[in-house]
Amino acid sequence: MSLLPVADALQRLLQAASAEAPQPAERVPLANALNRILAEPLHCAHDVPPWDNSAMDGYAFASRDLAQAMSAGLRVSQRITAGMAPAPLVPGTCARIFTGAPIPAGADCVEMQENVVLEADMARFSQAVSPDQNVRPAGQDIRQGDVIMQAGQRLRAQDLGVIASAGIAEVPARSALRVAILSTGDELVEPGQTLGPGQIFNSNRYTLIGCLQRMGQTIIDGGILPDDPDLTISRLQELAEQADIIISSGGVSVGEADYLGMALREHGQLDMWKLAIKPGKPFTLARFADVPVLGLPGNPAATLVTFLLLVRPYLLRRLGVEHTEPLQLPVPAGFESSTTGNRDEYLRACLQNDQVVPAGNQSSGVLSSASEATGLILIPAGSVVKLGQPLAFFPFDGLFQ
Ligand SMILES: Nc1nc2c(c(=O)[nH]1)N[C@H]1C(S)=C(S)[C@@H](COP(=O)(O)OP(=O)(O)OC[C@H]3O[C@@H](n4cnc5c(N)ncnc54)[C@H](O)[C@@H]3O)O[C@H]1N2
Ligand code: MOO
């Protein structure tokens, strides 16, 4: 059976996500909206800033009075601080003004105080100022009626600031997806318990919790599923009643105890299985009781890599995000590799002297190298790596968002 190229798998995942009903929108106070995804575009009801204001602490005046300002000086007729509504400027005078304060009617520029000599109430300017100098015009940042952000935008700190500057207190955001996570395997015990013979600690559960928490989604804990065909079906049924999506780890390869994959193939609808990706080959997309199931391979590095490269874009698209590609930068290879594989290989990698190098042991069963790493690098199927050759580097910071 040939392996599905990663690009095709991704396209199918995104299509499957787009085909689901849009996630409902809810109103979220701006202070709680970090990382939320806008459900509708936002319009600005006001000019930002709302009025012309000073960019400097200094003196506001009419530029036609410049010659007088530089010879005899201009009388200071008023003092304007930020937050005031100033009276119109008395013709032939200037106004003491501070950064952010409104420009009075009749003034069209501001000279900074460092270039002004003050004698009694007369301000004499030591250099020329042009019209509009040091004036921040109304609407310089945002114009009334402008769309400030599009639907599908994930809100970053600076976005919250922009929305606040437009006076918007609550935003329409996509509600969180209810994501069930299910760990499979008789060998698993939870950290904190005692390991018996043949047992290992469940690490994938925590990797997935971290990934989903970082994305702000609601986690339904499906616990550890023993290797039992009937229990597999009943647990999938239970979770399908509560969740929008089920993400499992393990049990999707070809072993005789890989009951999860069997249940999906025999009692659900299989969409895809076996991709040209390393680690992560047995990644499975299926539906069970009409709920999408994303079956991640159990090897801990495969769970991490397939979540970041396949599940994350799927979830983002479910939340209405159009551009789901992670940040990728070309970085020269600090190593060579002459072996070629038939799968796109994602190595856990570190940056070293402006080059990328593999981090530690790259076995699919080894996770500590992912902790050492700062991102993933891609070695496309069928290619070798030459020293200095640019490789696609995916920083974890871009992959976890
Ligand atoms: N004959 C073949 N064997 C395997 C193939 C194959 O093509 N033919 N593919 C290999 C690849 S590639 C992968 S990846 C794994 C994936 O197998 P499963 O998804 O069925 O995963 P399991 O067999 O259940 O577990 C694999 C491995 O991972 C450990 N594991 C599972 N869950 C957890 C967890 N929650 N926390 C920590 N570790 C976990 C498990 O103990 C196994 O060591 O199949 C290969 N085999
Ligand atoms: O697909 Mo797997 O190569 O062992 O992770």
Give per-residue pLDDT as tens, 238-256.
999 999 999 999 999 999 9
Amino acid at 361: N
**pLDDT at residue 140 tops 80:** yes
43 and 165, same structural domain? yes
CA of 198 to the centre of ligand 1 (A): 15
Say if residues 318 and 23 touch (Cβ distance below 8 Å).
yes
Please identify which residue in the block is written with the tokens 């997309």.
Answer: 285
167 and 36, same structural domain? yes
For the chain, what is the mean pLDDT? Answer: 97
Give nearest CA residue, ligand 2 atom 3: 279
pLDDT of residue 400: 81
In a domain, 1, yes or no: no
Share of the chain above pLDDT 90, in %: 99
267 and 148, same structural domain? no
CA of 185 to the centre of ligand 1 (A): 10
- Domain's final residue, options 111, 136, 161: 136
- Domain's final residue, options 115, 136, 157: 136
CA of 301 to the centre of ligand 1 (A): 10
192 and 256, same structural domain? yes
238 and 164, same structural domain? no
Give per-residue pLDDT as tens, 308-363.
999 999 999 999 999 999 999 999 999 999 999 999 999 999 999 999 999 999 99
Q: 345 in helix, strand or coil?
A: strand
Whole-number Cα distances in Å, 42 to 48, 142, 174, 296: 14, 12, 14, 37
What is the average pLDDT across 196-225?
97
CA of 397 to the centre of ligand 2 (A): 23
71 and 115, same structural domain? yes
In a domain, 386, yes or no: yes
Beta bridge partners of 118: 123
Give per-residue pLDDT as tens, 157-170.
999 999 999 999 99
CA of 364 to the centre of ligand 1 (A): 9
In a domain, 282, yes or no: yes
In this structure, the number of other CB atoms found within 10 A of the CB of residue 268 comes to: 21
Give nearest CA residue, ligand 1 atom 12: 281
- Pick the closest to residue 164 from 145, 175, 148 (CA basis): 148
Q: What is the DSSP letter of 64?
A: G
Give per-residue pLDDT as tens, 170-179.
999 999 999 9
Please give the residue range of the domain that contains residue 159: 25-48+141-174
305 and 217, same structural domain? yes
In a domain, 258, yes or no: yes
189 and 129, same structural domain? no
Share of the chain above pLDDT 70, in %: 100
d(CA 95, CA 104): 8
Structure tokens at 327: 């940040």
d(CA 179, CA 134): 53
CA of 231 to the centre of ligand 2 (A): 26
**pLDDT at residue 401 tops 80:** no
In a domain, 323, yes or no: no
Beta bridge partners of 143: none
302 and 191, same structural domain? yes
Please identify which residue in the block is written with the tokens 């699919």.
Answer: 364
pLDDT of residue 165: 98
Residue 251 CA, closest ligand 1 atom number: 20
Say if residues 317 and 17 touch (Cβ distance below 8 Å).
yes
Please identify which residue in the block is written with the tokens 């696609």.
Answer: 392
Q: Which residues line ligand 2 (CB under 6 A)?
A: 278-281, 297, 299, 302, 364
Task: Give, for ligand 2, the residue of 273, 278, 283 to mutate: max count of ligand atoms closer than 8 Å to Cβ.
Answer: 278
Indicate which ligand has the atom closest to the C-alpha of 284: 1
- Domain's final residue, options 318, 351, 376: 318
**pLDDT at residue 116 tops 70:** yes
What is the average pLDDT across 132-156?
97
In a domain, 324, yes or no: no
Indicate which ligand has the atom closest to the C-alpha of 299: 1
pLDDT of residue 1: 67
Structure tokens at 203: 């690490």
- Pick the closest to residue 300 from 137, 164, 173, 188 (CA basis): 188
Q: Which CATH number do you get for residue 253?
A: 3.40.980.10
120 and 82, same structural domain? yes
Cβ-based burial of 58 (10 A; exposed 0-12, middle 13-18, buried ≥19): buried
Indicate which ligand has the atom closest to the C-alpha of 367: 1
In a domain, 109, yes or no: yes
Q: Which CATH number do you get for residue 116?
A: 2.170.190.11
146 and 38, same structural domain? yes
Indicate which ligand has the atom closest to the C-alpha of 277: 2
Q: Which CATH number do you get for residue 160?
A: 3.90.105.10
In a domain, 346, yes or no: yes
Give per-residue pLDDT as tens, 253-297.
999 999 999 999 999 999 999 999 999 999 999 999 999 999 999
Number of domains in the chain: 4
Give nearest CA residue, ligand 2 atom 5: 279
Give nearest CA residue, ligand 1 atom 31: 298
Radius of gyration of the chain (CA): 30
Q: Which CATH number do you get for residue 390?
A: 2.40.340.10
Structure tokens at 117: 């000599």
Indicate which ligand has the atom closest to the C-alpha of 344: 2
Give nearest CA residue, ligand 2 atom 4: 364
CA of 136 to the centre of ligand 1 (A): 61
Q: Which residues line ligand 1 (CB under 6 A)?
A: 183-185, 187-188, 200, 202-205, 249-255, 258, 279, 281-282, 297-300, 302, 364-365
Say if residues 300 and 348 touch (Cβ distance below 8 Å).
no
CA of 161 to the centre of ligand 1 (A): 45
225 and 150, same structural domain? no
